[in-house]
Structure 1
Amino acid sequence: MTETILGSEPAIRLTAFLGVLAAMALWEIAAPRRRRDIPRVIRWTNNIALVVIDTAILRLTFPILAVGLAVTAEDRGWGLFNTVEVPFWAGVLVSMLLLDIAIYLQHVMFHAIPALWRLHRMHHADLEFDATTGLRFHPIEILISMVFKLAVVAALGPPAVAVLLFEVILNATALFNHANISLPPSVDRWLRWIIVTPDMHRVHHSVDPRETNSNYGFNLPWWDRLLGTYVAQPAKGHTGMEIGIEQFRTTRDLWIDRMLVQPIRGPASGYALDMSGNSEPQSEQALDSQSDKTNIPDTEEKD
């Protein structure tokens, strides 16, 4: 069974990706959370072109990726879970939890180190927030992330099935929590205890650095709550908040050629440890769960 699943890895990942992306796109059309002001053709074509480039570079650069390394580690006895006897189900579950907190810490690192923030800020420079924002990462960031992930897999020696499940789920939840979709407040309030919701992650894409440097989770919301980086709501509400970063505010900056050179443009301001401005989360305002009640979601769509 395991060998069959691993042998079908490319098909499983592609099917899950296309299925979730299509579902989020339809949901965004049917029930958008925020009004769309920039035509989809500009953002979607450039964001999707970027993920194609990222994937091609990744495949050409690395002879083995995370799932393949997990198989090799299992064969050669590398890593924690290949030296400690644990039930298979426990190994899968704990591995997925450890991989998730590793991705959380990596995300914090990309905000805390100026050189890495230069790469990661391209993800934040999107002027709107929808499912394709979850695909928008600089190729160099993707390469660094893969090196980090391979190091974690080599150290943990997790079951290959756990790595595959984690990557499929992480990809799906990244599309979900970046989607411009409207959830009933009561559903969002309970759902964000078990998964990062769009309203929770949208705070992270606020132009206000105090909110940008919060809510780092992509899949599980617990690390933000446990480690003090959780902000419940944006100070200006979800329909009033401004998406993006201050440095890149033109539609021309959404084109792929401009995105690729963003790391060398301008100062690396706005990262978590930036002492030139106020970067701490605005906890009193942000933790006010009532802050968005006066902001009625605007569902108007522009073509």
Structure 2
Amino acid sequence: MLEQAPAIRLGVFLGVLLTLLALEWLLPWGRPRPLGPRRWPGNIGLAFAGTLLVRAVAPAAAVGAAAWAEARGFGLVPAVGIPAWLAVPLAILLLDLLIYWQHRVTHAVPLLWRLHRVHHADPELDATSALRFHPVEILVSMGVKMAAVAALGAPPLAVLGFEVLLNATAMFNHAAIALSPRMEAALRLVLVTPDMHRTHHSEVRAETDSCYGFCLPWWDRLFGSYRAAPAAGEAVVIGVEGWRTPAEQRFGRLLLQPLSQAPVSSVPTIASAAVPRRSEA
């Protein structure tokens, strides 16, 4: 199965992406998206560039790190003697916790925020927003993940399962779909939902710096970063002030954005001027 890991990831990715894009048409979140698909070349281009960069630097990536550790009996899992039936779900849980804290750090460290800001600067949300990460951030994230996988001695199957799950749930919680209140409340107990994650994409800084989870919602509640909804509700302003114009969504501009100061925004905001916003700093 592990030899087929790239094909498995690609198959699930395409299936989930196409399903969510269809649901965005059938069950749309009630907000206009004037740029819509015009953002897709930039968002998808970043994901493709990040994949090529990781393949060039670490071809086997996280699953390869897990196979390396397993072949040498390296890491916490073999050292403690955790059985496979427990090691797989435990590794998935701990890796999700790692991603939560890694995400928090990218908001707290200015240099990392400049890279991560590319993701937050998307002025609209849909399933492709989950792909919009700067290639350098993708490479750094993979390095952290590989180190954690090796130290943990996570089974390769667990790492593959985690990567597939994280990718699918990230696209789900960025999707511009409207869930019924009952379904939203039920899903929020076990998954980060689109409504929950929209709070994280608010331009208001206190809201941007909350709801860091990508897959499991429990870490935000446990570590005090959970917000049920943005203060503006459905009128929440998405993105980072100064980066919402169509020109800033082009692939080349997205690649260079971490090196740039914010341009003057041509898009008005309805958020209160008294509320601190996430800026280019």
Runs of 4+ in 1 over 4 A off after TM superposition: 277-280
Of 260, 263, 267, the match for 2:255: 260
Question: Corresponding residue for 1:241?
Answer: 236
CA distance in 1, matches of 2:67, 2:277: 42
How many matched pairs?
266
**Are positions 1:106 and 2:102 aligned together?**
yes
**Secondary structure of 1:17's partner?**
helix
Question: Corresponding residue for 1:141?
Answer: 137
Question: Corresponding residue for 1:201?
Answer: 197
Kindly state the Cα deviation for residue 279 of structure 1 after the two structures are TM-superposed. 7.6
CA distance in 2, matches of 1:27, 1:49: 23
CA distance in 2, matches of 1:106, 1:250: 29
Greater fraction of residues in helix: 2
CA distance in 2, matches of 1:186, 1:124: 28
Question: Corresponding residue for 2:25?
Answer: 29
Kindly state the Cα deviation for residue 203 of structure 1 after the two structures are TM-superposed. 0.5
Question: Quick check: 1:107–1:216 contact (8 Å CA) kept in 2?
Answer: yes
Once the two structures are overlaid, the 10-residue window that deviates more, 28-37 or 248-257, is 28-37
**Structure 1 residue ranges without an equivalent (≥5):** 268-276, 281-303
Of 226, 231, 240, the match for 1:230: 226
RMSD (CA atoms): 1.5
Amino acid at match of 2:124: E
Kindly state the Cα deviation for residue 189 of structure 1 after the two structures are TM-superposed. 1.1
**Are positions 1:250 and 2:245 aligned together?**
yes
User: Equivalences for 1:21-100 in 2 at 5 Å?
Assistant: 21-100=17-96
CA distance in 1, matches of 2:236, 2:132: 20
**Secondary structure of 1:180's partner?**
coil
Kindly state the Cα deviation for residue 141 of structure 1 after the two structures are TM-superposed. 0.3
Residues 182, 225 of structure 1: alpha-carbon distance in 2 compared, 3 angstrom cutoff: same
Amino acid at match of 1:203: T
**Are positions 1:221 and 2:217 aligned together?**
yes
Kindly state the Cα deviation for residue 278 of structure 1 after the two structures are TM-superposed. 4.7
Kindly state the Cα deviation for residue 38 of structure 1 after the two structures are TM-superposed. 2.4
Question: Quick check: 2:41–2:251 contact (8 Å CA) kept in 1?
Answer: no
CA distance in 2, matches of 1:55, 1:25: 22
Question: Corresponding residue for 2:114?
Answer: 118
Question: Quick check: 1:213–1:279 contact (8 Å CA) kept in 2?
Answer: no
Question: Quick check: 1:128–1:243 contact (8 Å CA) kept in 2?
Answer: yes
CA distance in 2, matches of 1:9, 1:23: 21
**Secondary structure of 1:162's partner?**
helix
Of 184, 191, 195, the match for 1:188: 184
Of 12, 16, 30, the match for 1:16: 12
Of 150, 170, 182, the match for 1:154: 150
With the length of structure 2 as denominator, give the TM-score of the two structures: 0.92
Once the two structures are overlaid, the 10-residue window that deviates more, 46-55 or 190-199, is 46-55
**Cα-to-partner distance string for 1:182-214 (whole Å, 9 max, x where unaligned):** 100111012111000000001000011110000
Kindly state the Cα deviation for residue 175 of structure 1 after the two structures are TM-superposed. 0.5
**Structure 2 residue ranges without an equivalent (≥5):** 263-274
Kindly state the Cα deviation for residue 35 of structure 1 after the two structures are TM-superposed. 2.6
Question: Quick check: 1:126–1:133 contact (8 Å CA) kept in 2?
Answer: yes
Kindly state the Cα deviation for residue 249 of structure 1 after the two structures are TM-superposed. 2.3
**Are positions 1:166 and 2:169 aligned together?**
no
CA distance in 1, matches of 2:120, 2:66: 31
CA distance in 1, matches of 2:101, 2:117: 16
**Cα-to-partner distance string for 1:113-172 (whole Å, 9 max, x where unaligned):** 000000000000000011000000001101110110011011100111000000000000
Identity of aligned residues (%): 52
**Secondary structure of 1:51's partner?**
helix
Amino acid at match of 2:117: R
Question: Quick check: 2:118–2:133 contact (8 Å CA) kept in 1?
Answer: yes
Amino acid at match of 1:193: L
